[in-house]
Every structure is written in C-alpha cells, then in structure tokens.
Chains A and B, each alone.
Chain A
Amino acid sequence: MKQKILSSALGLLLICFFPSVAFTQDDLLGLIEDKNPKKEPVSATFKTTRLVTAHSVELDHGGVFDMKIQHRFGTLNGGFYELFGLDQSNIRIGGDLGITNRISIGGGRSSFGKVYDGFVKVKVLQQKEKGFPVTVTAFQSMAINTLKWQNPAQENYFSSRLSYCTQIMIARKFSENLSVQITPTLVHRNIVPTTADQNDVWAMGIGFRQKLTKRLSLNAEYFYLFPGKTANDFYNSFALGFDIETGGHVFQLQFTNSRQMIEQGFIPETNSSWLEGGIRFGFNISRVFNVYNWKGKW
C-alpha cells in the first residue's frame, strides 16, 4: 500500500514538474517550432524553358513574356570555304508567355521551311522537397509549313502543311547542381514524302543540366529514334550546350547536329552526324519581360 502511494506521488511530482521543465528550456524558438513544416516546391530545375533546343520541364512564371531568339549555323565540316558553317544560318524568332505559373503558351517562326509553330505547356506535377520526387510537364505543339506548294498544279490541302508534337517531360532535380530529364515524344506529320515514310515517329529524349558555377551550367540532350524507317534514314539528335545567366538574360551556346529548332524538325529530320563533323554551332538568347502580375498559386 505504502509503495503504491509512493509511486503515485512520484508520478504526480513528475507531472507537476514537467511543465516547468518545458518552460525553462533555453531555445525560445523551439517552443513554437513547426513539427511538420510545409513541403516546399523545388524551384529552378533548369535555368530556362529550353534544355538546349528541346523544351525543359521549366515554365516561365505567370505574367512573364520570354523572348527567344534561336540561331544555328552550318556544319563545321563545311570547312574553310563555308567558314566552318558560319556562312549559313537558320533562325527561329519567338516567345513564351507564362499565363500562370503552371500554364504557358508560346510560338515562333523558323526560317527553315518558313514554319510557324505554336504550343501549350502545362506543369502537371511539381517536385517537392522531401516530397513528390519529380516534376512532370505536358507539351503539345502544332506547326504550319508555309513554303510554296512544290506542285501547284495538283490539288493541295492545307492540312498537309501541319505537323504535331506531343511530349511528357519528367525531370528530377537531384541536387543543387544536377537535374535530369526524360522526354517520351510523339511527332506526327500529316504528310510525308513517300508512303514508306512514317507519319508517326516515336522518340525518347534524355537530358541533363550540371551547374559548373552558380550562373553557368553544362547541358546536354539526346533524342533516341525508335527503330523504323525514320531511324534508318536520319540521325539521332544530340546537343551539348552551356547556359550563361546574367540577370534577366539567359544565353545558351551549343553544339548540335540538328539544324531545326522545333520538335517536328530536329527530332525526326536531323540529317548530319557528329562523327562526320556534321556539328553546328548555335545559340539561344532569352530575355524576360514582366507583362502583368500573377499572384495565383498555380
């Protein structure tokens, strides 16, 4: 009996002292510390909306217009006569507009094929710190070739000018410096030169970004064409580039075997090879302008 009383008294003693013990702790902030802090979204997986030529999971923030000037020279194996490609030029002028933080539209015009293109990009899932492991962005584009008809005598359809690209980009920022992206891709052309050519071309893109300093990074992208006539006739697109960031600008300098700068072009129609010196120097210039203020969460 005595022991029972003793132990219960001890227990009470402990209970009574407990709050005072808690109160005398030194770390004041510890008193109100959040035990389950909010999982923050991972930001800046890539510096800009393009990995090299291909799109990255990144979108411009809501209310931001991002002017893009992209340029590719000719191939290095043109030799001194072509000044190692500098005599030739392909350009795409365009822009991306962040409608919200997770929905963007964009468009441009390429000199090659006099192609106008437009796209919609939606960030479907967002990587979180100690949370969801990847960012997923869906991409759909349409392009219109506006070259004069090769054979005006025959009946030509507007739909023949159209081509499409659908991509699901999945990326993970592994660390401050390293981000990796894979990009399952489907390119559809309404018309192809011969019946043997593929209207639908499937490809798998893989790319990474490795920061070298805070404002300089090395980027690479590779698109593997799945076996088929296109894979037999063309080369896989491979590009290596540097991102240089200065305030509101991002400069991207790259070497690539692809001439075109839209998915419908550089993925199924790359016709020069790295091994044969079919490498082009090129650059993208990105400049952002604030058009309106977007304070929404999405």
Chain B
Amino acid sequence: MKNLFLSVILITLTVSFALGQTQRYFTKTGNISFFSKMPVENIEAHNRSATCVLDASTGKIEFAVLMKGFEFEKALMQEHFNENYVESSKYPKATFKGTIANPAAVNWKKDGTYSVTVSGDMTIKDRTNKVSAPGTITVKAGKVTAVSTFKLLLADYDIKIPGAVKDKISETIDIKVNVELAPMN
C-alpha cells in the first residue's frame, strides 16, 4: 500500500516536472519606442519598462506597455500624448498577443540569429487590430533578444490628429521593439 502511494507521488512529480519544462523567457525592462517623421517636426518617445513573455515551446509571445511610461524630449508633448491622444488614464496599457508563425525556425538551445514573423492582436485604446511583423530572434548564452520594426496607423486605434497639428504628426508611426529576455524559472 505504502509503495503504491510512493509511486503515485513519484509519477506525479515526474509529470509536473515534464510539464514545467516548457521554457519561457521574460523581461520587465524591454525597450519600445515610436517615431513620427514629418518635414516640420520629428517626434520620438521611448519606453524602457515594457514587459514581454515568450513561450519557446508554443511560439507564443506577449507584450504589455504602460502608456505613461513613454518619455518624450519635450514634457508638454508627453502631457499632450497622455491627455489628448492616447488618454492614458482611461487606457493605461497597450498589449500585443501573438505567435511566432515559424517557431521551428528557431533553435532555442543553440546560439544564433533567426528570422521570424510574428502575428497577433495589437490592442491600444481598447481597439484591437491584427498586426504582422518581421523580426529577428538572437539566442546567446541562454538569453533571447527579440528585435522588430513595424508601422501602425493611428486611425486604427482611434487616435485623432486635430487640424492645427496635421503637418506635425504623421498618420503612420514607426514602432521599434528591442527586448532582451531571460529564462523564467
């Protein structure tokens, strides 16, 4: 009888260990920046506290970023960004939940740089759109770096540009993502 219980426990342990084996990577200090390029004025903002979790076995990757964490060169721009454009108090977070379309292309165990395509749902101001973007994943000494550049249309996320500043803010915004992920225990 005792032996039976012991073996049950042993089996459970092994099973849970095997399940727990799924390798995940994460960061809370990812870099996400955006750029608006216009002849009159260039605007850029940087967020250095983006969170990202990557599940290597399924290829799932998720990002979250606090809108108030974007830093602009001019304080007034930052205030207007939060107050008038993205309404950060009402919609504090932007998220992206997607999957690597070709997870087999990446050998997580081997150092190297791999080209991937990530597609999924981008949510800003409670509006969700499908986004697909090319990127590279670099595996080095157990750490994973993910880099991507893509474009977003402000109109897709209900961000309106008033007439007075039409020549200062671009309708398409370049987004740059650069996250260095560490293994999650």
Contact = CB atoms under 8 A, between A and B. Distances in A.
Interface of A: 2, 5, 9, 12-13, 16-20, 23-24, 27-29, 31-32, 34, 40, 42-44, 61-64, 101, 129, 176, 214-215, 245-248, 288, 290, 293-294
Contacts of A16: 9, 12-13, 16
15 contacts: A5-B1, A13-B12, A16-B12, A16-B16, A19-B20, A23-B20, A28-B55, A29-B97, A31-B26, A31-B53, A34-B28, A40-B68, A42-B89, A248-B76, A293-B73
A23 B20 CA distance: 6
B164 interface: yes
A293 B87 CA distance: 25
A75 to B, nearest CB: 33
Contacts of B28: 32, 34
Interface in B61-94: 61-64, 68, 73-76, 79-80, 82-84, 87, 89-90
Most chain B beta carbons < 10 A, residue from A13, A101, A129, A246: A13
Given A17-B16, A32-B53, A61 B75 contact: yes
B129 interface: no
Contacts of B168: 247
B142 to A, nearest CB: 18
B19 A247 contact: no
Contacts of B12: 12-13, 16-17
A44 to B, nearest CB: 5
A294 B74 CA distance: 9
Contacts of B79: 43-44, 61
B84 A176 contact: no
B53 A28 contact: yes
A63 B84 CA distance: 22
Nearest to B55: A28
B38 interface: no
A2 B4 CA distance: 13
A263 to B, nearest CB: 26
Contacts of A288: 76
A37 to B, nearest CB: 8
Contacts of A247: 80, 164-165, 168
Contacts of B164: 246-247
B89 A176 contact: yes
Contacts of B76: 61, 64, 248, 288
A176 B87 contact: yes
Contacts of B51: 29, 32
B95 interface: yes
B130 to A, nearest CB: 19
Contacts of B90: 176
B24 A28 contact: yes
B15 interface: yes
B26 A20 contact: no
